[in-house]
A and B are shown apart, each in its own frame.
Chain A
Amino acid sequence: MSALRYAYYPGCVAQGACRELDLSTRAIAPLLNIELVELKEASCCGSGTFKENSWLLEDTVNARNIALAEQLTLPLLTHCSTCQGVIGHVDERLKTFQRDRPEYVAEINQVLTQQGCAPYQGTTEVKHLLWAIVGDLGLERLRDRVRRPLTELRCAAFYGCYLLRAQERLPFDHPIHPTSMEQVFEAVGATPVVYEGRTQCCGWPISSYATAASFAMAAQRLQSAIASGADCIVTPCPLCHLNLDARQPEIAQQVGVALNLPILHLPQLVGLALGLSPEELGLRKHVVSTQPVLAKLGL
């Protein structure tokens, strides 16, 4: 099988407070025969707030991001639920508008070309690493590459709102009862833990000003996963990771109980199964120690 090639969109958080996500995505790619061509000229998608200024702002900024991938004739690959939901939704909106409101797409392309950017053409697709693994690589091929089966590990998926509900059409998962994360868990030998709240919000978007409400939301998810016997939460979204991991001590303080639930990024879990070391996956750089997970795997 020839290599799967993608235009890699790293996003802000994986270059900021969750560098271990960027590290682990890059680490697993060659082991899965995936080639990443980084979009070095891309920009922040706006994380869902650009549309609060105007639809035109969110659409134009992300039309530019998509056009960068189109120039390479590659699919744009995200590894963040929020980036995926925002850019993926812009792509599906603009593809519909090419048919129904061509003057709107022309307005966007006029702004882009006047500023020296390539115009949006609607010729590629936007997909999350999770979908690339399940849909393009395939679970069989993933299973074949497992060097360290994660038996004994009980994993609770936390999908992130934008991955499930921002786009009107998902390539294969179900917005209410998704299974793609759990399918990956099974392929790498882990046991999926299904718990209440796995498809709901982590509270991150309001954490800077409605902090108590944000933490209450996160606490519900963490406590529900713990009550279901999870050893860790695994998420395809670094913003969810920030609330669930980096702020977990404050969340525990608010609800008055110890939590200490490790939160892994999706490529970290896959990387462990592929035989990579915790250091190669940045697993020692979490706020909540991942040591209980590593200990269970004999690491």
Chain B
Amino acid sequence: MTIQLTIRRQAPNKSAYWQTFELEIDPSLTILDALIQIKGYQDGSLSFRKNCRNTICGSCAMTINGRSALACQQSIRTELANSPVPNQIAIAPLGNLPVLKDLVVDMSDFWQKLSAVNPYVSTAARQVPEREFLQSPSDRAKLNASGNCILCGACYGACNAVDVNPNFVGPHALAKAARLVADSRDSETDQRLAQYNTATSGVWGCTRCFNCNTVCPVGVQPLDRISEIKQAILARSTTATRNQDRPLRHRQVLLELVKEGGWVDERQFGLRVVGNRFRDVGGVVSLAPLGWRLLRRGKFPLRFEKSAGQAQIKAVITALQQKQPSSKI
């Protein structure tokens, strides 16, 4: 069939533009096959990365019809069905990374941020031991999802947090971090959790937009892995440490308020999370304009009504808290 591929092209230090190619192709083939056909028969200057053609190497990640995907994994037929424009498929480079040429991006930041999480199993003695570091099948099974990662960059290119905060290490790095926190052979769990427990560069910088889970081509589910690191941080924290730190306090206060009221009493939420019950004067002051604005427009919730099921939900949460939290993911 005849289809159109609209490709975002860019030469080094030049402005980007869209170019449409029309080609005759079997729709059961992949987007990568279509790109190879264009490069071979229409425009040899079209640049893109590829290698295995089989969802193993992760080289051909790009933006296809508005979301990150592997060109070798998506069929032309599926993408035609996905496209908001009839008979046309839009191809652009991965987001959040500078373009070198056409669909080839500079992945330096991606690799540097991966390095930043210390992505190696750290044993007490990295020297070659007398015998192997053994791992039970059930402990190995904990690494299945994160171990699938092929470092293609699809999640990083789609990440809302990276887009606005260049310090955020990204879903790929945190999925790898979760794999190491969960690894029974790793001996630096506490140091790792302390390192990942930061409001902007680490796990709390994630805004839970779910893009990484949606686009991951191999089921790593990076957001779920980030949640597991947060679970490990919260499981090791105490009431005192949770109160010292605003992202942790956010979680602590939400749970307290739900136990107290069933619903969240928003009059309390900001004051306790940001203001730390008036202990954080700067925090309280920062809330003042918002509070005043809400009051002035009649939006500030002056009253709060508990849920009729408050006692029950409190009992349920208390029962869950009394169950032992797992010390490892």
Contacts and interface: CB of A to CB of B under 8 A. Distances in A.
Interface in B302-329: 304-305, 307-310, 312-313, 315-317, 319-320, 323, 325
Contacts of B44: none
Nearest to A166: B210
A53 B164 contact: no
A42 B313 CA distance: 8
B165 A52 contact: no
A43 interface: yes
B30 interface: no
A95 interface: no
Given A16-B301, A210-B200, A216 B312 contact: no
A178 to B, nearest CB: 10
Interface string A211-230: 10110110010000000000
A40 interface: yes
A171 interface: no
A71 B161 CA distance: 40
Contact of B263 (A43, A177, A285): A43
Contacts of B265: 16
Given A12-B263, A287-B293, A51 B309 contact: no
Contacts of A40: 307-309
Contact of A209 (B199, B264, B315, B317): B199
Contacts of A200: 160, 209, 211
Contacts of A192: none
Interface stretch (A114-122, A148-156, A266-274): A114-122
Contacts of A25: none
B87 to A, nearest CB: 15
Given A17-B301, A49-B250, A213-B164, A176 B67 contact: yes
B317 A61 contact: yes
Interface in A39-58: 40-44, 46-54, 56-57
B264 A44 contact: yes
Q: B interface, how many residues as a size bin?
A: 35 or more
B98 interface: no
A201 B246 CA distance: 21
A213 B325 contact: no
Interface string B23-39: 00000000000000000
Interface string A155-176: 0000001101110000000111
Contacts of A211: 286
Given A177-B82, A208-B250, A217-B164, A114 B208 contact: no
A210 B222 CA distance: 20
Contacts of B270: 208
29 contacts: A15-B301, A16-B266, A17-B299, A17-B300, A17-B301, A41-B307, A41-B312, A42-B307, A43-B309, A44-B254, A51-B227, A60-B320, A61-B313, A114-B319, A115-B312, A164-B210, A165-B210, A165-B213, A166-B210, A174-B82, A201-B209, A203-B207, A205-B208, A209-B199, A209-B246, A210-B165, A210-B204, A250-B289, A285-B297
Interface of A: 11-13, 15-20, 40-44, 46-54, 56-57, 60-61, 64, 68, 85, 111-112, 114-117, 161-162, 164-166, 174-177, 200-201, 203, 205-206, 208-211, 213-214, 216-217, 220, 246-247, 249-250, 284-287
What are the 4 tightest A-B residue pairs by CB atom distance, in nearest-first order? A41-B309, A165-B210, A16-B266, A201-B209
